[in-house]
Structure 1
Amino acid sequence: MNLSTQQKLEQALQRLAPIHLQVIDDSHLHAGHAGNTGGGHFSVFIVSDAFAGLSLIKRHRLVYDAAAELLPSAIHALSIQAKTPDELK
């Protein structure tokens, strides 16, 4: 079974033990723009205890590290919202 890039990204982000994970493929909004290497554009909303006590930059780094094997060939851009469970209350 061939997984889509979106499914591969969802699987890769499981290592952050998300309580909530939403991955949206926004590629159709960016087709043909300058600088696109052919990879997709994705929006990620992830809630995990792994982000507790971390700055925004460090949270994003965790997401990028988890998705590293998909960057930059399969994924051109990620829009990331990374929250802790307490930040949703």
Structure 2
Amino acid sequence: MYFTVDDPDGSYATGQVIRLAAEGLYFVRFDGNEVTLPLELVSIGEMLETTEEEYKLWRFFDTIEERDKWIEWLDAPSKPRVISLVRPTK
């Protein structure tokens, strides 16, 4: 299982849930830029944390392709919309 986790500064980290370590604890590996990072222990409570606005910080994906598709959508610039303020004549 793959994930993204949001940071308060608006950035995000990516990685993979490797395996169950103990009840309620999982080994995860965050993606490194140049080297493979060591495994970290993360509790299920940390994975379920939300912001004050009830926004989930962790998102989970079955495949790396699903995660990459989400990231592509997330990083895509929004398209400006033009709204006409003039009423059409009849």
Whether these two folds match at TM > 0.5 is: no
Greater fraction strand: 2
**Shorter-chain TM-score range:** under 0.3
Q: TM (normalized to structure 1)?
A: 0.23
Q: TM (normalized to structure 2)?
A: 0.23
**Which one scores higher on RCO, CA 8 angstroms, separation ≥ 6?**
1
Greater fraction helix: 1
